[in-house]
Structure 1
Amino acid sequence: MSQIELNEKKIQILNVAEKLFSEKGFEGTSIRDISKEAKINIAMVSYYFGSKERLLEALILYKTVDLKLQLENLLQENIEPLDKVNKLIEIYVNRICLNKGIYRVLHFELYNKKREKSLQAFTELKKGNLKSVESIIKQGQDQGVFRKDVNIQLITPTIIGTFFHFHMNRSFFEELLGLKTEEMFNNYINNDLKKHIQQTIKALLVYEN
């Protein structure tokens, strides 16, 4: 499903589904709950999406397909390899910050064997994104800037995993770092955490002096 196929009602349903799935879980949310929260007839939700599983699939693609476009555009940019990787990390951190709800849903649903079929399209999207990341790093390798022995498949999990460990232990880090407000917490992510991830990935990619 692409964003072109979405009308205002569908987007409204998807946004409500994201909110409820992230709060109550996929299993704990019914089509009736979604229709009630969205103030839309239950039959309309079924008409647009068919089932809750198809709704989840549509939601994931709706919220993640623009990441694919951003990575493809980054690949074409004429900038230094390390600048490109830093920008790659910035894109991932920004996307997760803007879509915390859907990433929370994904964190739980990707482990559910019953959801494999629903998430097949998302799996294909991730494979495409990995190819873009591989191409970006290969550009640096071809220029002799990046190491040849990098495990490229683990770069994205390192970025996302670091972010989620920080976010899922929020209260611990808020107390540890004195992050007393939402603004302070978000500023820390956008500055300190992002810089830390960039330094970590640089250490994995660049030859030691």
Structure 2
Amino acid sequence: MTDFNDKQIEILQVAENLFAEQGFDGTSVRDIAKSANINIAMISYYFGSKEKLLEALILYRISDMRLQMENLYREELTPIEKIDRLIELYIKRIHQNKGMYQIIHFEISSGKRIINCDAFNEMKKNNLEVLKNIIKEGQDKNIFNKDVNVVLLPTTIMGTYFHFQMNKPFFKDILNLNTQEDINNYVYNELTIHIKQTIKALLTYEK
């Protein structure tokens, strides 16, 4: 199910904020119902359980990502331009939904409960296929090296971003990032530029 009504979307957004602030275990269905100003029965009716609500949240947040990636691949751009745009898309997407990504990765890594992440994994596989196609296009034009470890490129992109997020107090201090707007500007400009330079260096380096 990817077509959610307004009330379901409202519940998902409330749940996402609470999960990000209090953790999945620290948030009860009662907390979600209270914040969304609804009764618990409505959450059960729409989602069945807190775990199913999290699975619905994953679907809600990734439902249009596949389309965006495939549209990018079909655009009349050079392979280098496509890589730049792909990184911009990745960073914007992750930054805008960082709460959800933190929740998902914690749940997957902790293994404390069974969360059906098939849709999330399918999205990652699809993104990787698009990336492989862009890299191959660049290799066929002798722009990119033939021996690129494509599987680890998303790890490099997301790892750099999440290292920044996990050490935000340190970076706020040394970079004078005093407001959320300062942080957003830094992420969308300097950090994104650094990641682009890193990925393009990996794609074009000479042994």
Mean CA deviation greater in 80-89 or 67-76: 67-76
Aligned to 2:198: 200
Q: TM-score, normalised by structure 1?
A: 0.94
State the secondary structure of the residue aligned to 1:95: helix
Question: Aligned AA for 1:155?
Answer: L
Of 58, 61, 67, 1:60 maps to 58
Which of 148, 153, 156 lines up with 1:155 in the alignment?
153
Q: Distance in 1 between matches of 2:187 and 2:206?
A: 27
Aligned to 1:89: 87
How many angstroms apart in 1 are the aligned matches of 2:123 and 2:35?
A: 29
- Secondary structure (helix, strand or coil) at the match of 1:126 reads helix
> Which digits, 9 at most, give the CA deviation of each residue in 1:77-122, with x for residues without a partner?
1110001000000001111121121122123112132444421221
Q: Deviations over 1:22-47 (max 9, x none)?
A: 11111111111111110111111011
Q: Identify the match of residue 129 of structure 1 among 121, 127, 132.
A: 127
Q: Unaligned stretches of 5+ in structure 1? A: none
Identity among equivalent positions (%) equals 57
- Per the alignment, residue 30 of structure 1 pairs with 28
Provide closer, same or farther for how the CA distance between residues 138 and 116 of structure 1 changes in structure 2, counting only shifts above 3 A: farther
TM-score (norm 2): 0.95
Partner of 1:21: 19
Taking the aligned partners of 1:46 and 1:143, their CA distance within structure 2 comes to 54
SS in 2 for 1:28: coil
Task: Find the partner of 2:141 among 135, 140, 143.
Answer: 143
The amino acid of 2:65's aligned partner reads L
Q: Counterpart of 2:163 in structure 1: which amino acid?
A: H
Runs of 4+ aligned residues of structure 1 deviating over 3 Å after TM superposition are 114-117
Q: Is it true that 1:46 corresponds to 2:31 in the alignment? A: no
Contact 1:57 1:122 in 2 (8 A): no
